[in-house]
Amino acid sequence: MAIFNLPAGSKVIDLGGVSRIWNFVEIPLNITIVNLPGSYKGEDLDTHHQFTYLEGDATSLPNLQDGSFDLVFSNSVIEHVGDTERQRMFAGEVRRLAAYYFIQTPAIWFPLEAHTGVPFWWFLPNWIKARLHRRWSRILPAWNDMVLGTTVISKRALQSFFPDGSLLTERAFLIPKCYCVFRKST
C-alpha cells in the first residue's frame, strides 16, 4: 500500500486471492476477488472493506471493462494459469483492467520451493520429481495437480509480460525469494 497510496474507497481487483489477506490493509477499500468457478466461496469476515466475489478465469475477463479498477493485485497466481501464452493473457488482462498493478510470483532460486516445500525442487532430476508426483497423486491428488500445473516464471519473463512495470526482487538471506512487478502510473 505504501507504493500506491490509494485513497479510501479505491476499487481493487484481486486475481486469485482471498479476503483475509486484506485485513492487513487499514484503508477501507472496495475489493473484487476473482477465482475459478467453484474454487473459492468467500469468507465470513468482520471487516472494514467491501467485498465482491466473482467467478472467472483471470486470463480472460470480458465482462469487466477496461480501466474499471484503480489497482489489480495478484499474489502467486500467474505461475498457476498455464503455459507462457496463458501467462501473457493474464498479464494483458492485468494491464487492461487498471492503471496500477502489483503482481508477485515466487523465484526459482529460493532454496525452499513455495508450492511443494521441497528444497531445490526445480533443480531435482526428473526421475525424483516423477517419483514424488506418483506418491503425491495417491495421497494428495488435488494438491499434486496444483503442483503439476505450476509453471515458474523467470525474472526476465515476468518483465517481458509487464514491459511498462517496475520490477523488484524480494530477498531472504540475500537470496531471491520472489519477484514483484508493479505499475503506479500509466
- Exposed (0-12), middle (13-18) or buried (19+): which is 133, by Cβ within 10 Å? middle
Nearest to 162 by CA among 108, 75, 64, 93: 93
Task: Tell me the fold of 11-109+150-183.
Answer: Rossmann fold (3.40.50)
pLDDT at 150: 87
Structural domain boundaries in the chain: 11-109+150-183, 116-149
Task: Please say whether the beta carbons of 176 and 107 come within 8 A.
Answer: yes
Average pLDDT, 10 consecutive residues per value, the chain (186 residues) = 85 94 93 90 80 95 97 95 96 97 94 88 92 94 88 93 95 93 84
Residue 158 is placed in which grid cell? Answer: 515476468
Q: Which three cell numbers stand for residue 51?
A: 467485498
Burial of 41 per CB tally in 10 Å (0-12, 13-18, 19+): exposed
Please tell me the predicted confidence (pLDDT) of residue 5: 84
- Residue 27's φ and ψ, nearest 5 degrees, are -70, 125
User: Radius of gyration over alpha carbons of the chain, in Å?
Assistant: 17
**Amino acid (one-letter) located at 170:** E
